[in-house]
Structure 1
């Protein structure tokens, strides 16, 4: 057989190969299309129940002040509220846009600010107040305070008069 008879067969094979390659590429693109997933809220907790738990958490934080304990954890707080730790974590993340540690540290910072503005604590050292409010280290306290207020603790103390 002469070479001229192989050209149509080669062209046909090239077209088939091109067609199959194109189908694979198109099919692969469909596999990796970012499909919209429902929000986590529908899987974890309904909106009304979530707000109710947030209110319960806020009330508990104001009355019992568990954040003053330096060893407070998501599990211990969830047990105190009689909820699943994952549910509590979801509510904190969803409503405060913070993780558990940042949420607790914000409560601690607010307590430090109250005490710094209270004349009864005027003779206390800053670090003593921080430890009393649940912070376990000076560096954590300084970072959390700066993150929450935009000022270092000493800048905040100097800017407020008793």
Structure 2
């Protein structure tokens, strides 16, 4: 039966109907404008503090295609969405660690307030961004 299947040139699918992954591109100007819009949104609204934030949610807030937003982050900032969000979170953690008002809070409390959902992700992201563990940074 399988020989007949092959010899009759029958396939379970038509190879011509398979779509290739489309590459999303923007003009340089459009990319820079979207990046500026994203940076302003991140600075003013601080969506990264939400541990459940997603690329789709941010794209919706900016009224742009999620693929366009992903493209801009990847191509202009040379990082993926998760690393981009975690970098914003790390900067917020660093601000709080440098603020005496937060001295009484545990490190993990600050991490969760800044949008991290797990201790291991926080520690890895912090070490990658600063070269120091959160505890080492706090002691500086």
Determine if the TM-score, normalized by the shorter chain, exceeds 0.5: yes
Matched, 1:46 2:27: yes
Q: 1:144 aligns with which of 114, 125, 128?
A: 125
Pairs within 5 Å for 1:64-143: 64-143=45-124
Partners of 2:31 and 2:71 in 1: CA distance: 9
| In 2, Cα distance between equivalents of 1:71 and 1:88 | 18
User: Who wins on radius of gyration, i.e. which is larger?
Assistant: 1
Q: How many residue pairs end up in the alignment?
A: 118
Q: What is the Cα deviation at residue 82 of structure 1?
A: 0.4
1-structure distance, mates of 2:99, 2:64: 35
| Unpaired segments ≥5 residues, structure 2 | 1-22
> What runs of 5+ residues in structure 1 fail to find an aligned partner?
1-39
TM-score, normalised relative to structure 2: 0.82
Give the ranges of 4+ consecutive aligned residues of structure 1 lying more than 4 Å apart after TM superposition. Answer: none
Q: State the distance in 2 between where 1:106 and 1:56 align.
A: 17
The root-mean-square deviation of aligned C-alpha atoms, in Å, is 0.9
- The higher-RCO structure (CA 8 Å, 6+ apart) is 2
Deviations 1:20-78 (A, max 9, x none): xxxxxxxxxxxxxxxxxxxx6xx510000100000000000000000000000110010
Q: Residue deviations 1:68-123, cap 9 Å, x none?
A: 00000110010011000000000001111100000000000000000000111111
